Amino acid sequence: MAGLFNNLLVLFFVFQNICLGFRSPLSVFKRYKDTSRSFSSECLGSDQPVVSLGLSDFALDIRMPGVTPKQSDTYLCMSVPLPVDDEAYVVDFKPHASMDTVHHMLLFGCNEPSSTENYWDCDEGTCKDKSNILYAWARNAPPTRLPKGVGFRVGGETGGRFFVLQVHYGDISAFRDKHKDCSGVTLHLTHQKQPLIAGMYLMMSVNTVIPPGEKVVDADIACHYKRFPMHLFAYRVHTHRLGKVVSGYRVRNGQWTLIGRQSPQLPQAFYPVEHPVDVSYDDTLAARCVFSGEGRTTETHIGGTANDEMCNFYIMYYMEAKHAVSYMTCTQNANPELFRNIPQEANIPIQIMSDMLKMTHGHHEETKDSDKSSLLQQAKKEEEEILEQSNFYSLLSKLLGEREDVVHVYKHNPTEKAESDLVAEIANVVQKKDLAREITNHEERDSTNLVRDRIQSEHDFHIEEAVEWPGLDLKLGQISGLALDAENNLVIFHRGDHVWDENSFDNTFVYQQRGLGPIEQSTILVLHPSNAKLLRSLGKSLFYLPHGLSIDKNGNYWVTDVALHQVFKLGPDKKEPLLTLGVALQPGSDKNHFCQPTDVAVDPNTGSIYVSDGYCNSRIIQFSPNGLYVMQWGEGTETSLGRAKPGQFHIPHSLALIPDFSQLCVADRENGRIQCFRLETGEFIREIKHKSFGRELFAVSYVPGLLFAVNGMPYPGEAEPVQGFVMNFSTGEIIDTFIPLRKSFEMPHDVVASEDETVFVGDVHARAVWKFASTEKSGTIVEGRLKNNPESTDPIKKQEKQHLVQQHTSTGISFVLITTLLIIPVVVLLAILLFIRWRKTAVYGGDGEHKLDSSSGRILGRVRGKGSGGLNLGNFFASHKSYSRKGFDRVSTEGSDQEKDEDEGTDSEEECSAPQTPPAPSSS
């Protein structure tokens, strides 16, 4: 057992790519950065650097043996022999370092290291013979995975027999505590012969000088290519702090084709070449680094210290094995005139978001005060713009269809005429948008989902974390699925002590860790939604890698297991599955097999079963209630054609069944969108895609009228944060977004919501479940079914309601007008008001105003009572800080997580929010 534990620790960072294939390191940068660290006191894997990954694969851990550099800009080297004599191929690199301690790392392959010591100063050299660069890392770059069928050849007759790790320690202030550093890299090697051999092409400037204060300095490199064709698949840029942008091109017949362009201040990973580029005999490879000498008082030269500069453009390529060359360099500018025609984009610096600058801060140099001031001013300006966009008048403008003229009249001249204009405009919108239906009694009605849906799109709707949620003391594994049962109890599907990582599957998606056996812990936990008390548990010794979870109308649990490639139906009190779909441990794409199925949904009306399949298939499969195949739809995304077409998937990851409209909505994860289809035919209906989704959308959930979703981490340089979304189902419009209050999402993997707008989000990396609640439940949304809840006859409460209305009639918008507009047609309202005013003058005299206000209080009380479920503009306005709530105090908060203050003069609300579980890195 101890050996198993050590093996898992060694491979702790080797995760996730088997299910993602070769994809941009950008997509996992932030997740990886959270887990990357410098091992301060011990080297994981130092006692067992070689770990078997199966019959033909193994992992090799290459780490510094606990070193403490004595001065800045120290270069230390160490070597590790290839543990096998025959030929092998490196197919994966996993770095273990933090830019807080390490400036950069290089991994070389050679036959004779410069020293036989445990480690040595790299001034003595790296290798005595010719060395090849296999890998480079800097600035918290994420892991690098080679395309399928491509590997760096090592060992045998032609490959190197030693790996030499070079680590540059830039600023040693992190070593004040004298800790020992064990940074390094883990290699994944295989004996399986790779048809394509990878190599490294390094373009490097060696004579660039950057004058002090010079705004723009170009460093150009160009070489003619005189070898067999090579295919470029990844690139990496490298400079120090003065670099602004680095670009690389292939030039053929005067045409410039971009290989890659990136800011060197972003994580210096190997990014994939977006469009396939091949290089043939007599092509030219060209690169340009753009520097700025501003802030420097002396010349800056190319060199090896942090105060020097570098201009490097690395290209990863592959060639046919019989022609393969493992390493090539270009250090000259063979044709300076060529760069007169370089595309203009190569001269334009890439703007870096301030949060990215913080994550990729330099090792030595401090940010100038002027830069800080500029960033602060920009942030302040953005904040002011956000506040301006969210104030009451802007929102009211949107409600009025951008009729800002009316709103601004009232904002700057709140006269009686302006008020009447504003009320008339609201009445016009209410009529046009069909928001004021005739609700003359409180009996139950049919077909009110659309009413709710329309109101939702016009109302402010806000979800906030419930900080009182006490469900954080549970010791959970990777949380993959969530659901709510008929009693609204929260059901969690988690992976116990199993982890989806690099070693879980081979390249044919066959699970490789069967020797661990099924998860011994209960994988399905049922919790009380308010106090998180464990009500029951099941699912021991059944699953290997849980993923999706849903519950049908009879309370049965439907789950998927990506390791078993199966779908199971479990009774709530049964230990054995009631129904099993798929063949255990056998991936496939026919009618009887799945390949890492992700989710399942069951139609409550017909009992039909829908399975999203999955990570290595791109389809939705329908089965009959007893598990017979009916049909399927969907295909893989043709990434080379740009935007994905309707019906194409890149990991259909989550399902939301919409029984009210006979639709199935799919979270198309890597395409960053929701696709909805007709249940009966699989016909595509529509796509919901927003820029704020970013590039990944992990999960979707439905309650009548609303869709809830969670996205993935943004790519570096992109602004879209990881967050939750609330959307109008009919229009797809985003009503609200939500994030935790205490700590950030890491990889929210599933979301589930109840009809009272309570939302739970499970995070597979943080191993935490957050609870969120609506802050406007009782008045904002028309209930799906209007209930008969007559007005309270308590004379004291009625008197309090009337008193509150009377107290505030002198300010704001007329209660009588707005409230009555929501009950009867505007024309009838105007007639009634004219009649009342006439009666007031003729009969009541000076006391008429009090009588009218009292009547208004009774009308308003009926409209705002629990049973009406009507549109409450008071709640819409009151949720915005720039507007006074006077006259719009809520009468009832039943069915809400809010608590009303006992003081009748205020309406303060205590919001409930959820504590967090400690984060733990994991796979998807």
Q: Which of these is catalytic: 16, 99, 168, 648?
A: 168
**Nearest C-alpha neighbor of 96 from the set 21, 167, 153, 190:** 167
Contact 246, 347 (CB under 8 A): no
Catalytic residue check, 104 = yes
Rounded to whole angstroms, the Cα distance separating 317 from 199 reads 5
Q: Give the count of beta carbons closer than 10 Å to the beta carbon of residue 903.
A: 8
Catalytic residue check, 310 = yes
Q: Which of these is catalytic: 16, 78, 166, 194?
A: 166
**Nearest C-alpha neighbor of 185 from the set 106, 117, 242, 130:** 106
* Bridge partners for 83 per DSSP: none
Contact 757, 412 (CB under 8 A): no
Q: Give the count of beta carbons closer than 10 Å to the beta carbon of residue 725.
A: 23
Q: Which of these is catalytic: 96, 103, 547, 653?
A: 103
**Nearest C-alpha neighbor of 527 from the set 468, 471, 465, 466:** 471
**Nearest C-alpha neighbor of 219 from the set 307, 341, 285, 312:** 312
Tokens encoding 182: 């064990």
HSE-up of residue 774 (Cα within 13 Å, Cβ side):
27
> Helix and strand tally (H, E) in the chain?
15, 48
- Which own/partner contact pairs does 440-444 have at CB distance under 8 Å and 24+ positions apart? 440/823, 442/786, 442/787, 442/788, 442/789, 442/790, 442/867, 442/868, 443/786, 443/788, 444/785, 444/786, 444/787, 444/788
Q: Which of these is catalytic: 188, 240, 498, 749?
A: 240
Catalytic residue check, 494 = no
DSSP string spanning 881-894? TTS--TT---S--T
Tokens encoding 417: 């005429």
Contact 650, 668 (CB under 8 A): yes
Q: Which of these is catalytic: 310, 328, 356, 747?
A: 310
Task: Name every residue whose Cβ is closer than 8 Å to that of residue 81 and which is 6 or more positions away in sequence.
Answer: 161, 162, 163
> Three-class SS string for 262-304?
ECCCCCCCCEEEEEEEEECCCCEEEEEEEECCCCCCCCEEECC
Tokens encoding 156: 């045998």
Catalytic residue check, 850 = no
Task: Name every residue whose Cβ is closer than 8 Å to that of residue 573 and which is 6 or more positions away in sequence.
Answer: 538
Catalytic residue check, 166 = yes
Rounded to whole angstroms, the Cα distance separating 791 from 160 reads 85
Give me the torsion for CA of 709, 715, 720, 725, rounded to 10°.
Answer: 0
Contact 458, 874 (CB under 8 A): no
Catalogue the active-site residues.
103-104, 166, 168, 238, 240, 310
